[in-house]
């Protein structure tokens, strides 16, 4: 029983860290990367479709993304989707190819992105702590039902706390790496 609770808590904590990695990928650093456009959807025959499913996204150079739609009539829809997004990017079109130049980050935008990254990391830490709370509650329920001894309860609490510390440290490490990326000129 206790092992199942710990395994469930660990898998949920891993998912929290993975979602933080996805959130960090959406925060723009100074370099061009196709994952910046992961959250972008385009109206494709009446339904919202992820941009990566209707176009080829590639890195042209360190500061430019190149988007080549598979159908020429999508060019204007893709441009509109990029303009509406909160990325703050201005596409330039040459025929069927859309180029997305990434402006260099100013000190102010870097600080804003770092603030956003810290918020995302804090959300992940809170999620991990909530998972710890749930797991400890499950262990306490087992103790109340006399399915485990008090020694088992203390051991389980220690193990769950160690898991929590491990994943919070991993989140802090990811945040530090993202801050270094953002501060790199």
Last residue of a domain, one of 51, 70, 101: 101
Q: Do 174 and 20 touch, CB atoms closer than 8 A?
A: yes
pLDDT on residue 30: 66
pLDDT on residue 163: 92
Query: pLDDT tens digits, residue range 37-93?
Result: 777 888 888 888 888 888 888 888 878 888 888 888 888 888 888 888 777 778 888
Q: Do 16 and 127 touch, CB atoms closer than 8 A?
A: yes
> What beta strand segments (E) does 7-72 contain?
41-44, 47-50, 55-61, 64-69
Higher local confidence (pLDDT), 171 or 89:
171
Give the count of domains, the chain. Answer: 2
Residue 87 belongs to domain with CATH number? 3.30.1360.40
Query: pLDDT tens digits, residue range 93-113?
Result: 888 888 888 877 788 888 888
**Mean pLDDT to the nearest integer, 27-31:** 70
Residue 150 belongs to domain with CATH number? 1.10.132.20
In the chain, % of residues over pLDDT 90: 25
Burial 85-115 (b: 16+ CB within 10 A, else e): eebebebeeeeeebebebeebeeeebeebbe
* Averaged confidence pLDDT in the chain: 85
pLDDT on residue 40: 82
pLDDT on residue 90: 82
Residues 97 and 110 in one domain: no
pLDDT on residue 158: 92
pLDDT on residue 106: 80
Residue-range definition of the domain harbouring residue 134: 2-26+106-183
Cα-based angle 17, 9, 142 (whole degrees, multiple of 5): 165
Nearest to 60 by CA among 92, 13, 15, 27: 92
């Amino acid at each position: 029983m206790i092992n199942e609770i710990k395994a469930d808590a660990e898998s949920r904590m891993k998912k929290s860290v993975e979602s933080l990695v996805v959130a960090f990928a959406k925060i723009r650093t100074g370099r061009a990367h196709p994952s910046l456009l992961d959250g972008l959807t385009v109206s494709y025959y009446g339904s919202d479709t992820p941009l990566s499913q209707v176009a080829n996204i590639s890195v042209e150079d360190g500061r430019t993304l190149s988007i080549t739609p598979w159908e020429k009539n999508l060019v204007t829809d893709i441009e509109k989707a990029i303009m509406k997004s909160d990325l703050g990017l201005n596409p330039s079109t040459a025929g069927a190819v859309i180029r997305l130049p990434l402006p260099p980050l100013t000190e102010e935008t870097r600080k804003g992105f770092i603030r956003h990254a810290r918020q995302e990391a804090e959300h992940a830490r809170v999620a991990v702590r909530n998972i710890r709370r749930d797991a400890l509650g499950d262990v306490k329920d087992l103790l109340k039902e006399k399915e485990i001894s008090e020694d088992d309860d203390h051991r389980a609490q220690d193990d769950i706390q160690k898991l929590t510390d491990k994943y919070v440290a991993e989140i802090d490490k990811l945040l530090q790496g993202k801050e270094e990326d953002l501060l790199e000129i």
